[in-house]
Structure 1
């Protein structure tokens, strides 16, 4: 069910409600930072994700764990929103709600998400260079970069922005040469 159209349909109104709350309180960026941290935690801790999604775990236990995970530094409005997801039995859609919120935040701030695949981790200088190229290609004000490593690329990078893919990898260049030679 996760990742399906149904989960998106359920997650979107919650994300929009959270965005509305954040805009009313001028907390859109703070919520964005907290949500990125929460998403990172969920993606790196399968135990936490399974605990929160489990139907056999008591609601009070889920609330206690979630309150400890987000910590005292987290905004009270965001914390109460997360507890509401538990009360409404929508916590299984937490990741989708967070992703939808970040997407709404990107639209609000004219930011694009660039998924960059390279042979090694990018240095700060390389990240800056990629961001400038993506800004020039898309006309966006800012670029959020999500990186992954794929040693099979041999060299270079593959940049995906929305449905557009810019393949500047050595593997991609070799593939294009091979195709032109086979004609």
Structure 2
């Protein structure tokens, strides 16, 4: 069995349990916001991920750190789930559990994820326009934007929704023009 298959067998039950707990308590949106916060903290501080993944560090020390970092920031039930992951020595999968939870939450609530790459930051009006078009295109109840800046695009935008990619960038237009001319 590959390491990704093992991780999937570990990650899915925890993510599904968090979805079930959040739905059952009527706090799924709170859990989603808190999990986005946790994922952002993990992404911005790789040292925290390394610390939590280190098998030499005692479980109690990891739980104490989780308490210090997240106690006033996330829902107490979610903090207990993090401690459970630590007790079961699964805390190294926290980032993957967060991603899987958000995937399941989007599917459950019919939210489309649009990954948008631009050369310059988008204005609120541009973000709203993209959300409306993606919502019409996907028939989703709402749209979540993940924006990335890429100055090599020169201008325009690339929108990825699921497996579909809409390339409206200048770089993409130049590439298509080159193919047509050759």
Do they fold alike, i.e. is TM over 0.5? yes
2:180 matches 1:175: no
Question: 2: CA distance between counterparts of 1:100 and 1:61?
Answer: 26
Cα RMSD between the aligned structures? Answer: 1.4
Post-superposition offset of 1:62: 0.5
CA offsets, 1:128-170, max 9 Å, x none?
A: 1111111111111111111111000010010111111110100
1:119–1:152 CA contact under 8 A, matched in 2? yes
In structure 2, runs of 5+ residues without a counterpart are none
Question: 2: CA distance between counterparts of 1:135 and 1:5?
Answer: 33
Aligned partner of 2:162 in structure 1 is 162
Helix, strand or coil at the partner of 1:93: helix
TM-score after normalising by structure 1:
0.95
Helix, strand or coil at the partner of 2:168: strand
1:62–1:86 CA contact under 8 A, matched in 2? yes
Question: 2: CA distance between counterparts of 1:168 and 1:7?
Answer: 36
1:124-163 equivalent positions in 2, closer than 5 A? 124-163=124-163
2:59 matches 1:71: no
Question: 2: CA distance between counterparts of 1:152 and 1:131?
Answer: 24
Aligned partner of 1:103 in structure 2 is 103
Question: 2: CA distance between counterparts of 1:127 and 1:8?
Answer: 33
Helix, strand or coil at the partner of 1:4: helix
2:90 matches 1:90: yes
Aligned partner of 1:115 in structure 2 is 115
1:3–1:96 CA contact under 8 A, matched in 2? no
Aligned partner of 2:46 in structure 1 is 46
In structure 1, runs of 5+ residues without a counterpart are none
Helix, strand or coil at the partner of 1:122: coil
Question: 2: CA distance between counterparts of 1:179 and 1:55?
Answer: 53
CA, structure 1 residues 54+103, in 2 after alignment: closer, same or farther (shift >3 Å)? same
Number of residue pairs matched by the alignment: 181
TM-score after normalising by structure 2:
0.95
Question: 2: CA distance between counterparts of 1:168 and 1:5?
Answer: 36
Aligned partner of 2:26 in structure 1 is 26
